[in-house]
Amino acid sequence: MTQDQEKAPGFWREPRMSALLVLADGLVLEGTGLGAAGEAVGEVCFNTAMTGYQEILTDPSYAGQIVTFTFPHIGNVGANDDDIETANRAASGGVRGVVIHAPITNPSNYRSTRHFDAWLKSRGIIGLCGIDTRALTTRIRERGMPNAVIAHSPDGVFDVEALRAKAAAWPGLEGMDLVPSVASTQRYEWTQSAWTQEKGYGLAGPAKFKVVAIDYGIKSNILRLLTEAGCSVTVAPSTATAEEILALAPDGVFLSNGPGDPAETGKYAVPVIRALLDRKIPTFGICLGHQMLALALGAQTLKMSQGHHGANHPVQDFTTGKVEIVSMNHGFAVDASSLPENARETHRSLFDGSNCGLELTDRPAFSVQHHPEASPGPRDSHYLFHRFVALMESAKAPA
């Protein structure tokens, strides 16, 4: 680059700074780049989890988002091939970028197989470190999740005005159906069981029930816990018709997590779910699947200001009275006041009172907003998979 280019408006060269987070309102945060070079636009959300950064960054529900962590030390235990949550390894979509506070240290964990920075590069994830992530979190809490561009240029040269314009022009997640960028397009069988200290991941054993899991961006550990609960699992694409699903003769249907605006995905998913509900097939939904079930009942969803992203969220289960510590990742929520008479609220966030679960009174279906497979409790919510099995057992029992 020439000296004249370096002096041009909107450019600067700062050897110590090789990454920027440029918010749509014009704020520019300078940091040190890590991971892949390039730029990406998305919605910035904060995650309060102190562990599980690799699972978070491979959760398909984060498609279209830039994740900033409130915990300052991210990457210090490296990365491995076991802690990846993307069930569809061929998916091109996912998290747009990551923002952390402290520089990445060398990995210190016996399970690590590579440095976190190298792992980010291998997955094409753009990163930035060295900013006050808690100040950014406070800004999000006060003003909501902003649209932004994260940019990493090793030479430290940026067209700041162009980045501002790109951030301001991005329409945001409302109205976006991001499921096609992360979900599988072909049907397949899932055979992996849960991880153990001694053996790692195993193979599914004999199954008592056949479950079809509709993939809106499904996480691997959901599928593993379904197999652990005694289910054989067929994963169907989000575009599968009710007829195609019914042809598999499932004992139950699972509605998966996923990214984007549920109202947009619902345009093609809701008619399918309604047809399955009409057949009274036991149904269980998580996250986006919870929102899809609510929409199929005629309820509404709404965009949250800061969303719920973390592993320390208290949720009360009204069916038992117990409080669970759960993992959450959602920027949209079900409007509990819009639920019909045949839908009962079963779970509620003790942080803000938002809806976190429902069950039908006239059909065998229920769902939760949180992620029972993520194990922050660590096993507080695993009972939900057994509740699903109980529904299937009841449906198969002789009249």
Q: What confidence tens digit (pLDDT) does each residue in 310-338 have? A: 999 999 999 999 999 999 999 999 999 99
Label residue 9 by pLDDT band (50, 70, 90).
very low
Average the pLDDT over 178-190 and give the result: 96
Q: How far apart are CA 354 and CA 334, in angstroms?
A: 8
Of 3.20.20.210, 3.40.190.10, 3.40.50.300, 3.40.50.880, which CATH number belongs to 179-396?
3.40.50.880
Q: Is pLDDT of 14 > 80? A: no
Active site residue 345: no
Average the pLDDT over 183-198 and give the result: 93
Name the active-site residue from 30, 55, 359, 373: 373
Name the active-site residue from 45, 231, 287, 356: 287
Lowest mean per-residue pLDDT among 183-192, 199-208, 280-289, 308-317: 199-208
Active site residue 373: yes
The closest alpha carbon to 351, from 333, 372, 374, belongs to 333
Name the active-site residue from 101, 152, 370, 371: 371
Active site residue 231: no
Return the half-sphere exposure (C-beta side, CA atoms, 13 A cut-off) of residue 167.
28
Domain residue spans in the chain?
A: 3-169, 179-396
39-40-44 Cα angle (round to 5): 125
3 state DSSP class of 188 = strand
Cis amide leading into 262 (omega within 30): no
Q: Is the backbone of residue 189 left (phi > 0), alpha (psi -120 to 50) or beta?
A: beta
pLDDT tens for 115-158 read: 999 999 999 999 999 999 999 999 999 999 999 999 999 999 99
Q: What is the pLDDT of residue 29?
A: 97
Burial track 368-394 (b if 16+ CB lie within 10 A, e otherwise): bbbbbbbbbeeebbbebbebbbebbee
The answer to whether the CB of 220 falls within 8 A of the CB of 373 is no
Q: Is pLDDT of 92 > 70? A: no
CATH number belonging to domain 3-169: 3.50.30.20
User: Which of the pair, 246 or 4, is modelled with greater confidence?
Assistant: 246
The helix-helix angle for 288-296 and 262-278 (nearest 10°) equals 60
Share of residues in the chain with pLDDT > 70 (%): 95
Cα 170 versus chain centre, distance: 21
pLDDT tens for 63-75 read: 999 999 999 999 9
